[in-house]
Structure 1
Amino acid sequence: MKRKEIEKQLKKELDKDRFTHTMGVMYTAAALAMAHGADMEQALYAGLLHDCAKCIPNDEKIVLCKKYQIPISEAEEKSPFLLHAKLGAYYAEHKYAIQDNEILHAIKVHTTGEPGMNTLDKLIYIADYIEPNRDQAPNLTLIRKLAFENLDEAMKQILSDTLHYLQEKGGEIDPLTAQTYEYFHNN
């Protein structure tokens, strides 16, 4: 599918705030791709589709993942909202005809991250955090600056802030996010 067709479809499927966020991530990912010499088309598509399964109710996410044989971790069972990334990658491929494995992977890891992320993975993870409609995260000004200078440093700061927030809030920490934090802080 062409990007504009996907945009029209998502505008119908996502709530207004999620669609606004999606467009912000898409354009931020494209800007980051330009700044870091990455493929802008890949960034546009991955940014556009990163939350394509976000507005599906959590209990339905679990049912759909089981139906499509998408593995569900213990952390995802406890916090099913995390499944929107894996389910989104599935939808990107099967509903929106995306065949580029790098785009699909970037969508799949945009919430938890994973050790050894490639450039596109980092672009989407970071764009999701810093897009212009976001205004609540700590250190946002610093992270936005870092994002255009050094992707790994931006990842370190986001992961550190995310884990700190989850620990303070008493939220469930996905082991993959903790592993990603360790990876970026030790490399």
Structure 2
Amino acid sequence: MVNETEIYQYIRGALRPKRYTHTLGVLETAESLCEIYGCDKYKTRIAALLHDCAKNMSDDELIKITKENNLIEVDETIKHSPMLLHGFVGAYIAGEKFNINDVDIINSIKYHTTGRPNMSILEKIIYVSDGIEPSRKFEGVDDIREVAIKDLDKALLMMYNQTIKYIISKNQLLYPKTIEARNYLLIK
């Protein structure tokens, strides 16, 4: 088992105070959803704590680690929004630094920003918790919080919609996996 004290020390040093507070909010929210949806508590804690462990890295660092370790193709969308890589790099850090090799934990960290089709319960919990934790303030967040405790897939779809609307409002490129993930939920 992973030493949670080491994880706390690592993220406290790697994250700015606001991001560390956000991480603790994701942990709190994920633990609540874990209780409702019967997910593994240990996996939930580890994934929540490490989901943003690479968030405060520079764009150049994220791209460098991604390319050196062949984590994912750095395509045009990634080049325009390198911060999308923080989940992939975070999953890499979880494996390399903390010897985490549980696929569900790794994928929950990896896809907590982009989503993907056919996510596990843990992946959905981390993705939704990242969007609705207590410090998040955006129009409609309370509606998603209410839905999350009743229907995780519906809350996930609402989060995808929110994310896509936000990206369009900023005139940024949409990440294809997010669109695929949304379409998957609608088709299933």
TM-score normalised over the length of structure 1: 0.96
Residue 7 of structure 2 aligns to a residue in which SS? helix
How do residues 32-43 of structure 1 correspond to structure 2 at under 5 angstroms? 32-43=33-44
Residue 8 of structure 1 and its aligned partner are, at CA, apart by 1.5
Indicate if the aligned counterparts of 2:67 and 2:74 stay in contact, CA closer than 8 A: no
Unaligned runs of 5+ in 1: none
Counterpart check, 1:96 vs 2:86: no
Residue 168 of structure 1 and its aligned partner are, at CA, apart by 2.2
Indicate if the aligned counterparts of 2:30 and 2:126 stay in contact, CA closer than 8 A: yes
Residue 79 of structure 1 and its aligned partner are, at CA, apart by 0.8
> Paired residue for 1:179?
180
- Distance of 2:111 and 2:155 partners within structure 1: 16
Which of 76, 81, 88 is the matching residue for 1:86? 88
Residue 70 of structure 1 aligns to a residue in which SS? coil
Counterpart check, 1:130 vs 2:132: yes
Residue 156 of structure 1 and its aligned partner are, at CA, apart by 1.0
Residue 95 of structure 1 aligns to a residue in which SS? helix
Q: Pick which of 79-88 and 137-146 moved more.
A: 137-146
Task: Letter of the 2:102 partner, please give it.
Answer: D
> Paired residue for 1:65?
66
Please list the CA deviations of residues 30-72 of structure 1 after superposition, one character each: whole Å capped at 9, or x if unmatched. Answer: 1110011111111110000000111110111101111112122
Residue 4 of structure 1 and its aligned partner are, at CA, apart by 2.0
> Paired residue for 2:20?
19
Please list the CA deviations of residues 68-110 of structure 1 after superposition, one character each: whole Å capped at 9, or x if unmatched. Answer: 1212242212210000010000000101221211100111111
Indicate if the aligned counterparts of 1:30 and 1:41 stay in contact, CA closer than 8 A: no
Q: How many residues align?
A: 186
Task: Letter of the 1:44 partner, please give it.
Answer: R
Unaligned runs of 5+ in 2: none
Indicate if the aligned counterparts of 2:14 and 2:54 stay in contact, CA closer than 8 A: no
> Paired residue for 1:157?
158
> Paired residue for 2:55?
54
Indicate if the aligned counterparts of 2:63 and 2:74 stay in contact, CA closer than 8 A: no
Indicate if the aligned counterparts of 2:36 and 2:149 stay in contact, CA closer than 8 A: yes
- Distance of 1:184 and 1:140 partners within structure 2: 20
Task: Provide the alpha-carbon RMSD of the alignment.
Answer: 1.1
Indicate if the aligned counterparts of 1:35 and 1:148 stay in contact, CA closer than 8 A: yes
Indicate if the aligned counterparts of 2:112 and 2:127 stay in contact, CA closer than 8 A: yes
TM-score normalised over the length of structure 2: 0.95
Residue 132 of structure 1 and its aligned partner are, at CA, apart by 0.6
